[in-house]
């Protein structure tokens, strides 16, 4: 593992003071990005446009739950240049040794509840009722979560329910709330039901609520997966997916890599460099960047040296 200070990583990733031009990217006219669904608006509306304007290379993004992304890559159903994960360890567990040997972590996040304020669920939240009492009283389908078999946001919701059950000393809370929740298979569509009135609330990342202009009720740090100081506590929760992958609770870390099979590796390297240098844009869109970026594995000189 390569360990470098934040200052040295930022300096290296900044290269000569900006992103490369199209002529430096091997003549490629596009980069294919397969990313976590929570990044869709960030990439499509912000970083992708900046990347295209500064490089002359088109950015084409597709977005799914991160575990679905990993299945697509390992199953040979998608062939992106860049993979961006909402769970750094998941990417390393699934793609290292076969598809890549490195990644750069660039941001963190927190989970909580985005809600429609004109629903009973929302009214009670705004009145100060504990979220767990509201969730326990809610009708089936009022609360949505992402599919935990396909998406870290889904299994983080389950982890949060488990840790809340432990913290608040509730019997069968996690199982009951999970069974009553609607599981959305397409992470980018998780908040569509809240916006249309079909759902009252959803467990989401902080940036997703901001993206959709919805109020956000954060979970406490003991189970919002934002604070590395609670890493041992987070690890007390776990979920095993339908394919047998056991995800333990851990701080949220986003990371990105360029696949060894990439058609446009140079363009991919430049996209990862952009992510690592996008502190202001990431913070403005609800992400946390303190302590980032950091490198892991054998990061190519093309990425770090510019």
Structural element, H or E, at residue 200 = none
Report pLDDT digits (tens) over 100-112: 999 999 999 999 9
Report pLDDT digits (tens) over 1-13: 344 444 445 555 5
For 19-28, 259-268, 270-279, which range has the lowest pLDDT when averaged over its residues? 19-28
Specify the pLDDT at position 258: 98
Question: Alpha helices of the chain — where are they, by DSSP H?
Answer: 6-14, 40-42, 48-55, 66-74, 88-95, 120-126, 131-137, 152-168, 173-180, 192-196, 206-211, 231-234, 265-276, 279-284, 301-304
pLDDT at 37 over 80: yes
Average pLDDT over residues 241-269: 97
pTM: 0.91
pLDDT band at 300 (very low <50, low <70, confident <90, very high): very high
Q: Which residues contact 273 (CB under 8 A, 6 or more apart)?
A: 13, 14, 15, 19, 303, 306
Q: How far apart are CA 137 and CA 151, in angstroms?
A: 26
Query: Is the pLDDT higher at 224 or at 22?
Result: 224
Specify the pLDDT at position 29: 83
Q: How far apart are CA 211 and CA 93, in angstroms?
A: 29
With tokens 């040997």, the residue in question is 101
Average pLDDT over residues 152-164: 98
Specify the pLDDT at position 15: 52
Q: What is the CB neighbour count within 10 angstroms for residue 291? A: 12
Q: Which residues contact 216 (CB under 8 A, 6 or more apart)?
A: 112, 113, 114, 204, 206, 209, 210
Q: Which residues contact 225 (CB under 8 A, 6 or more apart)?
A: 109, 110, 111, 156, 159, 160, 234, 249, 250, 251, 252
Report pLDDT digits (tens) over 203-235: 999 999 999 999 999 999 999 999 999 999 999
Average pLDDT over residues 11-39: 66
Q: Which residues contact 239 (CB under 8 A, 6 or more apart)?
A: 148, 155, 158, 159, 246, 247
Q: How far apart are CA 226 and CA 303, in angstroms?
A: 27
């Amino acid at each position: 593992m390569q360990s470098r200070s934040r200052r040295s990583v930022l300096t290296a990733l900044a290269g000569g003071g900006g992103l490369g031009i199209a002529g430096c990217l091997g003549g490629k006219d596009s980069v294919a990005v397969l990313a976590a669904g929570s990044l869709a608006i960030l990439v499509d509306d912000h970083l992708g446009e900046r990347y295209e304007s500064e490089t002359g290379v088109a950015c084409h993004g597709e977005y799914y739950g991160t575990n679905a992304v990993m299945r697509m890559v390992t199953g040979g159903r998608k062939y992106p240049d860049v993979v961006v994960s909402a769970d750094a360890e998941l990417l390393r567990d699934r793609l290292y040794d076969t598809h890549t040997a490195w990644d750069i972590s660039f941001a963190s996040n927190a989970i909580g509840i985005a809600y429609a304020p004109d629903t009973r669920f929302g009214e009670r939240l705004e009145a100060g009722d504990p979220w767990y009492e509201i969730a326990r009283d809610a009708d089936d389908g009022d609360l949505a979560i992402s599919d935990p078999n396909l998406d870290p946001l889904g299994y983080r919701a389950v982890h949060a329910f488990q840790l809340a059950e432990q913290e608040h000393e509730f019997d069968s809370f996690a199982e009951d709330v999970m069974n009553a929740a609607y599981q959305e298979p397409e992470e980018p569509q998780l908040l569509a039901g809240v916006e249309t009135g079909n759902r009252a609330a959803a467990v989401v990342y902080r940036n997703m609520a901001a993206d959709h202009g919805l109020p956000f009720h954060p979970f406490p740090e003991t189970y919002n997966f934002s604070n590395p100081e609670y890493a041992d506590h987070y690890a007390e929760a776990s979920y095993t997916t339908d394919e047998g992958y056991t995800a333990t609770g851990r701080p949220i870390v986003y990371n990105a890599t360029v696949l060894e099979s990439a058609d446009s590796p140079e363009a991919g390297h430049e996209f990862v460099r952009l992510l690592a240098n996008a502190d202001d844009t990431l913070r403005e869109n609800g992400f946390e960047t303190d302590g980032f970026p950091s490198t892991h594995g054998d990061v190519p000189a093309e990425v770090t040296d510019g």
